[in-house]
Structure 1
Amino acid sequence: MLYARSTAAAKRAAFRERLASGELLRFPGAFNALSARLIEQRGFDGVYVSGAVLSADLGLPDIGLTTLTEVATRTHQIARMTELPALVDVDTGFGEPMNVARTVQELEDAGAAGIHIEDQVNPKRCGHLDGKEIVDDETAVKRVRAAVDARCDPNLLIMARTDARGVVGLEAAIDRMKALVDAGAEAIFPEAMTSLEEFAAVRAAIDVPILANMTEFGKSELFTVAQLRDVGVNLVIWPVSLLRLAMGAALRGLDELDAAGSLSGLTGQMQHRADLYELIDYEGYSAFDASVFNFNVQR
């Protein structure tokens, strides 16, 4: 009832342990706390908090317009509602190294199990668009070092994302990844890889866990979990998928409502009220107050 039983520290430690096991972990993107509960219910390994999703949820493009406060608030809302670890996108860290340090501490306080910080310049853009620019090696390294130095809980995972593949090519991108690992990054997010062979090359070059971003309509083919496991990927995210599915369903619903004047033809595609009440544990609240859940939901 209410929030997760596990502490943020316990979730971080468990995340570390599973990541160290070498198994592939699946982190769908949660666009709100309710979708995070659903991800947990369906047996996934963690939840991903996407900067692109938060931007879209606010009606904004993914170009660094969200604030640290907005990201920390959404992270807190999501992380406290699930026993799963939350990996959070903090874009470029919201400023200079000192800002990066504060970002890390705010996200740690919000309950994140891990964060990733990228090497784009500001204003940043979606990693699967053309025209990206990356900062120089020194700036990228400073961001990672600031993040590592700032955390209070050593189990908070500091992951470095690099967008270098789409800017300077794979070989130079791997050099950047090595520099980020040397700076203290404990995992690497190589953005916009174009083939399984590229993931395999990254795996061969670095000895920390690597993440694959399986976002739709981007630079990467939508590889399966099995394919990614075979080339040594440790963590897979589907950052915007649930939001895209939900918005697609909303669009179809509005079209049906406009055309037919009723949604009776689509009720079979909706989450049933009974399933929603089960997901939010409506019945569990009656342990505190029997008047809260004193009715039957008809299916």
Structure 2
Amino acid sequence: MAHAGEAGLSDTAVSAAAKPSLRGIIQANSLSFVMEAHDALSATIAERAGFKGLWASGLSIASSLGYRDANEASWTQLVEVVERMADAASIPILVDGDSGFGNFNNARLAAKKLFQHGAAGICLEDKGFPKMNSFVGDRHPLAEVSEFCGRLRAVKDTLASEDFVLVARVEALIAGYGQEEALMRAHAYADAGADAILIHSRKADASEILSFAKDWSNRLPLVIVPTKYYRTPVDEYRAAKISTVIWANHNMRAAVLAMRQVCERILREETIAGIENEVATLDDVFDLLNYRELAEAEGRYLPSVAVAAE
């Protein structure tokens, strides 16, 4: 398991009892919000901002590693990133596990290793391997329902004795199928042991998401990712009894824009004087990474240095 506070990345070690539970977040009666993170720094920032849970985004992690969101990054690389996130933040992490990196065996192995390295849950989408990001192109072949149910059951059986949340992501609407196909798949995944259903859409409005929620009748908690239909007021999600909203890629996208603007401006102006007051201070960075704890530890564990007499 990852260790909160290792390498000074967390302010204090937080007991397991004091941590928010991913299951509690998803099963809460009120609407919950989970924020994207893709490394230790973004995880720390999201926690400091007040979010109670993190989404280890496949798109964002792949992008930060220089890969495309098309299973170009391996599951072992994903585990390494999630471990650093878990070291940095004390709030639970739901991991975007893509389609499970292969068949049932790959899915259960990845889930087990993610749990061992600090993840509180995994989300698997019902596509084949390799998958493509849901907003890229129109080719999104879906897995056979029975085969995908096998992936879900394998994960549940592997971690049956652990409090590990399994979210099944339905991509039927992304692939161009209708509500009937999406609902059929969601019910099958619930029967296979999923703890929650994530229904995904690429439309600019939430109409098909809200329609699905109405027909789903809250059988299991419903999770959504409103990247495209971001103008919809969140009160509509509350009225639809949606469980959890994932803000899925905004830390990564904010970083891309900010870094591009800073690089272009420094190159153009040939000085950092103009941007110094528009970026985080070094003291802010030192605070996020808890340099104070290191200084206190040095006082406890390093021998005192005698001051030479003049």
Q: Structures share a fold, TM > 0.5?
A: yes
> Residue 101 and residue 10 in structure 1: after superposition, are their counterparts in 2 closer, same or farther (change >3 A)?
farther
Deviations 1:175-223 (A, max 9, x none): 11111111111111111163433333333314111111132xx4x3443
> Pick from 177, 182, 200: which aligns with 1:173?
182
What residue is the counterpart of 1:233 in the other structure? Answer: 242
Deviations 1:130-178 (A, max 9, x none): 2211011111211111111111543100000111112212221111111
What residue is the counterpart of 1:44 in the other structure? Answer: 51
- Aligned partner of residue 123 in structure 2, secondary structure: strand
Letter in 2 for 1:144: L
2-structure distance, mates of 1:280, 1:53:
21
Aligned residues: 288
Structure 2 counterparts to residues 121-200 of structure 1, below 5 A? 121-129=128-136, 130-167=138-175, 168-192=177-201, 194=203, 195-200=205-210
2-structure distance, mates of 1:8, 1:58:
30
Gaps of 5+ in 1: 293-299
Greater C-alpha Rg: 2
TM-superposed deviation, 1:22: 1.7
- Aligned partner of residue 154 in structure 1, secondary structure: coil
1-structure distance, mates of 2:109, 2:99:
12
1-structure distance, mates of 2:249, 2:145:
29
What residue is the counterpart of 2:226 in the other structure? Answer: 214
Gaps of 5+ in 2: 302-310
Deviations 1:24-56 (A, max 9, x none): 221111121011111111111211101111211
State TM-score, norm by structure 2: 0.86
Structure 2 counterparts to residues 238-249 of structure 1, below 5 A? 238-249=247-258
> Pick from 64, 70, 74: which aligns with 2:77?
70
Letter in 2 for 1:135: A
RMSD over aligned Cα, in angstroms?
2.2
TM-superposed deviation, 1:290: 3.5
2-structure distance, mates of 1:210, 1:154:
22
**Equivalent pair of 1:187/1:208 in contact (CA under 8 Å):** yes
Q: Which moved more, 1:163-172 or 1:41-50?
A: 163-172
TM-superposed deviation, 1:287: 2.0
Deviations 1:80-119 (A, max 9, x none): 2111110101111111111211111111101111100111
2-structure distance, mates of 1:156, 1:224:
31
What residue is the counterpart of 2:24 in the other structure? Answer: 17
> Pick from 270, 273, 276: which aligns with 1:267?
276
**Equivalent pair of 1:9/1:155 in contact (CA under 8 Å):** no
Q: Which moved more, 1:67-76 or 1:230-239?
A: 230-239
TM-superposed deviation, 1:17: 2.5
**Equivalent pair of 1:144/1:184 in contact (CA under 8 Å):** yes
- Aligned partner of residue 33 in structure 2, secondary structure: strand
- Aligned partner of residue 72 in structure 1, secondary structure: helix
Query: Is residue 2:302 matched to residue 1:290?
Result: no
> Residue 175 and residue 8 in structure 1: after superposition, are their counterparts in 2 closer, same or farther (change >3 A)?
farther
1-structure distance, mates of 2:252, 2:74:
20
**Equivalent pair of 1:196/1:231 in contact (CA under 8 Å):** no
State TM-score, norm by structure 1: 0.89
What residue is the counterpart of 2:307 in the other structure? Answer: none
TM-superposed deviation, 1:3: 5.2
**Equivalent pair of 2:34/2:52 in contact (CA under 8 Å):** yes
**Equivalent pair of 1:193/1:199 in contact (CA under 8 Å):** no
2-structure distance, mates of 1:169, 1:53:
28
Letter in 2 for 1:196: A
